[in-house]
Amino acid sequence: MIYAVIKNQTEKGRLDTALRASGDKNWSRRLKIITLSHKQYTVMQLSKMFDLCPATIRGYIRSYNEDGLDALRPRKSTGRPPKIAHWTMKDWNKVLERPPNQYEGLNTHSHRWTLELLGMYLKKYHQLQVSIVSIHNSLRKTGVEWNKQNACKFLSFEKTRGKQTWSKSLDLSHP
């Protein structure tokens, strides 16, 4: 069995103060786990109580026991930033003001932009390989409005290289 070990009253005071002052739910949850573990709650009980994997609970307890309170603080994600995070509404509007069939490199007859066509555009003209989800998120975050009239009509039929495919269709007309 592994339990959190609070070394002295000073450390207990720091833990209680941090728990009262905590505004971050993840930080608060970690502090509660340490407090309850110190009171002899088992890893399995804490796992069920907080709906977390037992390995996560053990990791919190081990980190606290080895390096103290500061080891529990949530850290900013070190994940890779999105490739198109810097794109603004102005950047998107510049691309979307022309239909996709006017971009020779896309080799399409479509008059409507689709997320797939935007992906092809980014790859061909900006050398960016970006997922459709990233494109969708970027459009949403920058406030690019979709035509409400066609928002329900997500499926449009297109011919691509002799094959029939369905794709999500967006009418990205501008006000």
Q: pLDDT per residue over 156-165, tens digit each?
A: 333 344 444 4
Res 167 pLDDT > 70: no
Nearest to residue 52, comparing CAs of 40, 41, 68?
41
Q: How confident is the model at residue 75 (pLDDT cuts 50, 70, 90)?
A: confident
Report H helices in 68-156. 89-96, 115-126, 132-142
**Phi, psi angles (nearest 5°) of residue 159:** -100, 130
Specify burial of residue 27 (Cβ count, 10 A radius: 0-12, 13-18, 19+). Answer: middle
pLDDT digits (tens, 9 = 90+) for 17-70: 988 887 788 889 999 999 999 999 999 999 999 999 999 999 999 999 999 888
> Cα(14)–Cα(99) distance, rounded to whole angstroms?
60
- The distance of Cα 131 from the centroid of its chain, to the nearest Å, equals 13
Are the C-beta atoms of 87 and 29 separated by less than 8 Å? no
Please report the pLDDT score of residue 153 as a whole number. 29
